Structure 1
Amino acid sequence: MSERQEPQQWHGTTILTVRKAGKVVIAGDGQVSLGPTVIKGSARKVRPLAGGKVIAGFAGATADAFTLFERLEAKLEQYPNQLMRACVELAKDWRTDRYLRRLEAMMLVADSKHSLVLTGTGDVLEPENGIMGIGSGGNYALAAARALADTDYDAETICRKSMAVAAEICVYTNENITVESLDDESAA
């Protein structure tokens, strides 16, 4: 009798957001892995949406994430300048739609007012202290960012240093970092 083997899964990533002193930043690594093999080292998992008014990063299956980016972009068009509403509507669809329910990804999204975590279980969460990490190296980056939050470093520097820590620890995270940022309206 032959054992049934599970198909290899695409693994990991690290996405981090930091909101500090008038800026919100989302950073992500570029590694895509299939089992123990690095397939690509320069994937772009963080990107601007809504004409640059929103930034987003994803952790999870790449095709699923692109589907979610497209869906979020459509919700942002439907509810312009209302990130929270667009995300809640996406989360409802994600949880109830038969196709979307199968998507395996998480997202960090931010505009000038809000930073949010979106999950397939219907969660739309605003992180404490403006810092959140997702993906296989997310907790490492989150811990490093929290430790650096009270320093004089700006949001981008905190993201870059924290992502470097995650890359040293998590085998599914590399040092090819993409960073997107926006000015934080609440600091004005």
Structure 2
Amino acid sequence: MQNQSTRWHATTILGVQRDGDVALAGDGQVTYGDVVMKHGARKIRTLLDGQVVAGFAGAVADALTLFEKFETHLRDWDGNLRRAAVELAKEWRTDRYLRRLEAQLIVADGDSLLVISGEGDVIEPDDGVAAIGTGAPYATAAARALLQHTDMPAREIAEAAMRVTADLCIYTNDHIVIETTRRQDEAQND
């Protein structure tokens, strides 16, 4: 098992929530040790017909397993993101196989932005910004500053913060993928 300081290398995933919109952004870099193996990996997905967005940091195979488990819980709980996240965290922490998976997830719908970890954590940030991966501190700082000092929408904040992060973090590149979702009542009014 890797030690804590090297566990989440090679990515940045950022979630930004503003005015009923949520944008989830991820870079495309895959790093193996000191070598960039891929520039355009896709670490962001939409689930439940676009109502939920999810992104991962960590081992790809582990994350894909967790995406499948999360999507199953999401269906089992009729799209209730919070309940599905809690159920995944409980299963992840207690199941012998899942406990060994090395990844973190950010999941969001128009109402909630959550970080899920294998330690049993389901964390909702107070300020509508969540980030995981090596570049998380840079992305968080940039997104918080933009939220506090601009009127930019969530998608633009996520993209700008990821570009700042790509300039600072050697494990993050500027091949950015962004997926968005919005609060259901607002989506129906469009």
State whether TM-score is above 0.5: yes
Which letter does structure 1 place at the counterpart of 2:171? Y
**Pairing partner for 1:89 from 71, 87, 94:** 87
SS state of the match for residue 59, structure 1? strand
5 Å-filtered alignment, 1:1-188, equals 11-150=9-148, 151-185=150-184
Identity of aligned residues (%): 53
Q: TM-score, normalised by structure 2?
A: 0.91
Distance 2:21 2:153 in 1: 8
The answer as to whether partners of 1:113 and 1:186 remain within 8 angstroms in 2 is no
The answer as to whether partners of 2:8 and 2:103 remain within 8 angstroms in 1 is no
Distance 2:22 2:185 in 1: 10
Aligned residues: 182
Which letter does structure 1 place at the counterpart of 2:22? V
Displacement of 1:186 in angstroms is 7.6
The answer as to whether partners of 1:10 and 1:34 remain within 8 angstroms in 2 is no
Instruction: Name structure 2 gaps, 5 residues minimum.
Output: 1-5
Instruction: Name structure 1 gaps, 5 residues minimum.
Output: 1-7
Displacement of 1:153 in angstroms is 1.1
CA offsets, 1:116-172, max 9 Å, x none?
A: 000010000111111111100011000000000020211111101100111111111
Distance 2:86 2:11 in 1: 24
Q: Structure 1 pair 117/9, CA: closer, same or farther in 2 (3 Å)?
A: closer
CA offsets, 1:68-101, max 9 Å, x none?
A: 0011011111111211111100000100001100
Which letter does structure 2 place at the counterpart of 1:50? L
Which letter does structure 1 place at the counterpart of 2:73? K
The answer as to whether partners of 1:145 and 1:159 remain within 8 angstroms in 2 is yes
The answer as to whether partners of 1:10 and 1:33 remain within 8 angstroms in 2 is no
Q: TM-score, normalised by structure 1?
A: 0.92
Distance 1:30 1:45 in 2: 7
Q: CA RMSD in A?
A: 1.8
The answer as to whether partners of 1:10 and 1:35 remain within 8 angstroms in 2 is no
